[in-house]
Structure 1
Amino acid sequence: MKPLEQKLTALFTGCTALLFTCVLLFSMYHTVSQYREYEDAIFRSRLNLCIFTVQGGEPLTEPYLNGLKDFYFLFSYDSDGISSMTTGGWTPETPPEILLKSIKQRVTIQDADSSAGAGHPSAIETTPAVIGGEHGDSYLASAAVVSVMGDKSSTFYLLMLRSPTFFIVRRHLPFYLLIWTCGIIFLFFLSRFLIGKAVRPLKEGIKKQRGFIASASHELKSPLSVIMAAGESALQVSQNPPETVRALLISQKECIRMKKLISDMLLLASGDSGNWTLQKSPLRLDDLLIDCFEELEGICRSRNCSLELLLPDYPMQKVSADRERLIQVLHILLDNALTHSPDGSQITIAAGRDGRFLFLSVTDHGSGIPPEDKPFIFERFYQSDKSHTQKDHFGLGLSIAKEILQLHGGKILLTDTPGGGCTFRLLLQKLL
């Protein structure tokens, strides 16, 4: 349940974070647009100020432009055709001649308003336009024709350097990053709270279900033991007719099956409730196989199969593991291999090194597992035999094996055996 809750929290946080990021990006775009509007308003104000200055008969000198506190550039022509170029103490990246050519292409100068009477100053200005330079620089540009007293006129082109977009973004970026970080943290905790609240009824239901399974298994175990004991006592009576003996043997066999099922269910219920404890100790996997080989070989002989042991020719490093639990997993995998292997076939158990992992493997040459069943074989009560003719198995063994490996911080992998069959490989972290 916890992995599902974590996935839902991550999904909810990711979706809301994506939406929040889009809102912040739109806000940043709006900030850049507002800054551009501010630049345009400042430029219009400076343009009008220059017009009033010229109408007052004062020249637009370099100290004057420098006093405007922005990066301005001026081309001017008087009524006698004399031209001049004035800067505010800086040099544009693009040559002035190219800028003048660009502004003349974008901005059209019209004659002064003829309706203005003689001796009355007048001015015509163009709408500011954006022109680009050769090096990524851009400017706001406008032109004005100013008529002054005495039928004289002056034409000038005013340019103002625009702030690069990345400069505007960089200036506001720390603020937006702070807002984004705080927002993501808030969304994460909000998501965890909401998901936790939403799945709480489900968790309580699962907890009650697990409690019921554990209690029912415990309650079934006691009468089952009594039935088995009574059956064993009845079998020891020599006067039993053959039919009675046969019936008692069948009952005994079914009781053993039920006892195994109850034991597996109790084991899984204990794992679900977090009550599984591991008695870990440093051990070598090759020594483990050597110690339990005789026992495993006897099981194979009783099922008309042979067992092969493959060990590496180098000393193996140790792992931290519960010896009895690993032997339990080997028994599960060996029983699974024997169930799907024909009489007379060979089963191989091996140990070795796989990158940063050490492994144990169990290989059979039986019928194998169909590809469509492989994603589900570790699920509880799942059996590839849909007819359930294999009455000695309930589909819990591989689930238990996976739980044990996960408690060890390892994993169990399934691959096809060349020529038919399947190979289960147990991967465990080696001790440093």
Structure 2
Amino acid sequence: MFREFKKNLIFLYTLSTGLILTLIVVLTFLFSLISQENKRQSLFQNHLFTLTSRLQTDNTVTDSYLAEMETLNELIIYIEENGHPLFFPGTYETTKNRDFLLEQAGRQAKKEGIYEDSLPVSSNTLQSSVFRTKGQHHDTWLGSVLVIRTDSGYKKLILLSDESGEHFRILIMGLLFLLADCIGIFLLYLAGRRFVRRASAPLEESYQKQQDFVSAASHELRSPLAVIQANAAAIADAPSEMPRLLSVIQKECDRGSSLIKNLLLLANMDSNHLTIQKENVEIDELLLHLLELYEPVFHAKNSSLLLELPDMVLPRIKADPVLCLQIFTILLDNAAAYGLENSRHPKILLKAEVLQGHVSVSVVDYGAGIPEEEKGRIFDRFYRGDKSRSKKEHFGLGLSIASELARVQGARLRVEDTDGGGSTFIVEFYV
């Protein structure tokens, strides 16, 4: 499910961002074309102005000057005076193509009303627009025709600039822009894949935890139901055992009811529907109450429960007393079930202290402790260090519930090793 979802999300991300990038690249390419066109037009006008100024100020223009200008700037320059062309064969392009191009330029000038005998009337110059024409070899030229009035008559200038190389340059530039666009889209794809993977990781983790939760809940519920079903069937076969079998059924019903109650509590916390009534709580009084409740429990296990309070009066904490009592009850139940196994000292220590702006309540045991690799999982739902799951009265929900109850009150539950061996569960309430 998530694989297809991520594929579709990556595709949509790459498509949308790729289209935007392509639009930017196309606009940039068009802007570059327009900029280059303006640059060519400006350069052509500069050449035209230079030659016009030279013709107006100098009576003679040398062949070497024209040859150098043609060669360096890829131009064809044709000049005639009073209908007689200058004896300048040209140094750029072939003579055959040159004559054809000059003829094409003359035709273009005639379309604009500039003939062989046309003379300027209201000014000293008569100029055609800047036009484009094609040669015999599919070459493209930028051109203009200019007639200049002189004291001895007139001079006619035809200027053509070769643009054939521009097509190749535009093609190369277009390919470079296309390559840049493809590379950009590929990089966007990689970025999108990384972003989608990172963004969907919490969702996948949450979904997997939900699936594991449902699977574990089904497994835990199946156990008491199977026992109830088996004992109910046994009643018909052995009526004399009915009291004992009914007692087993009652215990399993209580066990199932406890599990369902815990599941509903977790569901309410997940949906933020848990009612929290915070008030000023005297933490020392709460711990004394717990001591009275659990002393008989630990005494029955041939152990003891000790309470350690500081000499100073503990500050009040802002919390829900019912939820706090439930947190400490879970921790003490957990200590009674697991903290006394292989214990160096048959006792559990309940300790409170003030540390750096918060009240810390610890439940300390001296048992086998928790392996380092399991510390990050003990607050997961249905996780139990008892791999055999022999303790059927525990479902692996207690520490998960305690952690969530602490979190919804703004407190924090954590675990660390006890000096010399064992585990210490610490609840930190901020004052």
TM-score, structure 1 normalization: 0.51
Structure 1 residues 396-407: aligned runs within 5 Å? 396-407=397-408
Match in the other structure for 1:132 = none
The within-5 A match list for 1:228-267 is 252=247, 255-256=250-251, 258-267=253-262
Residues 1:80 and 1:305: Cα distance change in structure 2 (over 3 Å): farther
Task: Note if contact 1:51-1:123 (Cα within 8 Å) is conserved in structure 2.
Answer: no
| Residues 1:305 and 2:303 are matched in the alignment | yes
**Residue 391 (structure 1) aligns with:** 392
The CA RMSD over aligned residues, in Å, is: 5.6
Aligned residue type for 2:257: I
State whether structure 2 residue 270 is matched by structure 1 residue 269. no
What are the Cα deviations for residues 291-311 of structure 1, in whole angstroms up to 9, with x where unaligned?
Answer: 433323333222222333333
For the 8 Å contact 1:297–1:306, the answer to whether it is kept is yes
One-letter amino acid matched to 2:409: H
1:229-274 Cα distance to aligned partner (Å, 9 max, x none):
xxxxxxxxxxxxxx98xx9689757744642441242242244145
Write the distance in 1 (CA, Å) between the matches of 2:311 and 2:283.
13
Identify which of 286, 290, 294 aligns with 1:296: 294
Instruction: Map residues 122-271 of structure 1 onto 2, 5 A cutoff.
Output: 252=247, 255-256=250-251, 258-271=253-266
Matches within 5 A, 1:314-393: 314-340=312-338, 341-342=340-341, 344-353=345-354, 357-393=358-394
Which sections of structure 2, spanning at least 5 residues, go unmatched?
56-60, 66-70, 80-84, 94-145, 149-154, 158-195, 233-239
Contact 1:310-1:349 at 8 Å conserved across structures: yes
2:40 matches 1:44: yes
Give the unaligned 5+ runs of structure 1: 60-77, 83-107, 126-147, 153-187, 228-242
Question: What is the rounded CA distance, in whole Å, between the counterparts of 1:22 and 1:310 in structure 2?
Answer: 66
TM-superposed deviation, 1:390: 1.9
| Equivalent of residue 109 in structure 1, options 47, 69, 72 | 72
Identity within the alignment, %: 26
Three-state SS of the structure 2 residue aligned to 1:383 is coil
Q: Counterpart of 1:348 in 2: which secondary structure?
A: strand
List per-residue Cα deviations over 1:146-190 (Å, max 9, x = no partner).
xx999x9xxxxxxxxxxxxxxxxxxxxxxxxxxxxxxxxxxx9xx
Kept in 1: contact 2:380–2:400 (CA 8 A): yes
CA offset digits 1:343-395 (Å, max 9, x no partner) = 64232222345556543221211122234433433333332222222233222
CA distance in 2, matches of 1:14, 1:358: 48
255 and 374 in structure 1: CA distance in 2 versus 1, 3 angstrom threshold:
farther
Q: What is the CA distance between 1:47 and its match in structure 2?
A: 0.8
State how far apart, in whole Å, the 1-side matches of 2:422 and 2:7 are.
Answer: 39
Counterpart of 1:53, as a letter, is F
Q: Return the letter of the residue paired with 1:51.
A: H
The answer to whether the Cα contact below 8 Å between 1:360 and 1:425 also exists between their aligned partners in 2 is yes
CA contact (8 A) 2:279 2:319 kept: yes
Equivalences for 1:16-27 in 2 at 5 Å?
Answer: 20-21=16-17, 23-25=19-21, 27=23
TM-score (norm 2): 0.51
Q: Decide which structure has greater helix share.
A: 2
